[in-house]
Structure 1
């Protein structure tokens, strides 16, 4: 039996020769250097450092060598694979850095631009319309006056010449506040109008007084399409020397023009305890413009074919009201008026259901956000 071939020279095996390994390494380095993207580098890695790459196939030849020859061949193979892996790692780092730089340049975010992190809200139409109507009076030199919503009964009724037996002072119309001990009458009500603010203004301010009083009021009303128990009013008071109904007409006509554009108005005689003479202030129907009056073929639901729509009440301040506030009615006179904010909003936008204004749906507010300046 012949012995082991101890004189075998592994350099004579072509796949394991130094020249072959150098060529394999050179091809791998060239492929890595030519790869300009992660995808291309991955293909080069599989072709030159994968399981079926030339360096892997050459490494399998070592197992067929005699033990004495494996050490020398293994050292050459280890050096070749080390060069390939080092070149691959260096090229991979360079490619990733280049791709990151390109991504940062192409996907840059301008942090100076506003970002909508949440759905955009809107000012409530009631709030916006209050501001809009208040601005009309501020531009004329009037002041904005405010007062408490839980009001003294005297200011809400007595000072306004509303007698104790007036229907408005019944529990069917007014919300009374219970006393602290739950017994007896607290003589405090949830204000039924913003007129008490007018009395407070006469008591707190020096004459003359030009104030407009927007705010929330309370009534014992049903909750339906045209009534809510909590709503908003805006009232105005002018007390000065020589004030007449003509000044009132000019003021309200200016407000109507600002709210509805060129529109006809009229005074219709009425009665209010706190003004004398008193009138309802009507607007020409902005739907039919009076064309439905006496015309059964073209009825108008908005004005019920009357041609006019009631907007609010007004009149010359009753001398008794001036006297209650300590104003000399022989020297001073004035006018007052008031209208509902919700009613004005409905007129301006042809809204049909007042309940939409209190349900808190932001879509309704966005639809009417033009009410806010």
Structure 2
């Protein structure tokens, strides 16, 4: 069969790598793709938001299954366009992708269906938001309602910071229309855990746990980014936590979306906070997390194409997910200055060090070929270097060894990815 993947980051590279292992697949396309993805797929110069062009391409090439990796096209309704033209596509429709597309929607959904989350209020008026802050307890969290590349969340320690945050989101429009409405919620304390799941509208299958590191600098300092590294599994995601979440969060979310007339097919990413009162939902995403995908998929035993098809066909109850009893750590190599100002176009060397090395992967996030055919940096997050190990400590050691094999000017990384495992 022929598969089309929509996207261009490390997540899509990991998906392409996993899809390429399926015996069912003999041709992969990726739009628009990147230099690393081209190892497994034919990259097509169509943007992820060019829905009609993508659908026309899928028809022309007789694509059997399209997999949407990115949030923007899902929230924009690419699945609806494909389905309306009789094309098989993996991902939620527009009315279900709102689970990620609107934080206000997802918070209201959780309140209505008694899904544990932080106390909150929604605001469309900056004046009302500022008035509310006068009586609120600090620290407090401000969230842009819409998509903001994973950066629209501000943790404010003082009233002055919180007021400045309202100005940044709602008046200065740092994240554009994503800040037209904001959510102000209580600051929760605890361990963060990410849990990915496959959903077919009725049935949910939980993948292995992981944990992302969002802040740009060591010690969880600096600005929020799209993710500087991950590890899997999370030692803090215990059997007890899992049982609580299955009973109170996972299936309840799927049932809530169905009850709202928004049946969800695709990936639900649960961002959880393990608080003293129990696990609570920090956020939902409507697609694979990035870089979480880069540590979860290398541990997955299943043929991912079979799972995708089961979700689309409403037959996920026939699938049991299996994961290796090992661990994975991913360290993101970024351009120095990310997530603000950074230079692009630097040649990258050292990829040959990963050839024929079992348990080591380098997933491309922001790369391209230059005119001379060299792979060069083309983004803030450039590469995700992932390594497996029999346990988290060994996987971490392997990953930090492997990052030394890659070289480019202005290479930057955090040096403490997975350090929390030492405290487990």
**TM-score, normalising length from structure 1?**
0.22
Write 1 or 2 for the structure with the bigger share of strand: 2
**TM-score, normalising length from structure 2?**
0.20
Which of the pair has more CA radius of gyration?
A: 1
Write 1 or 2 for the structure with the bigger share of helix: 1
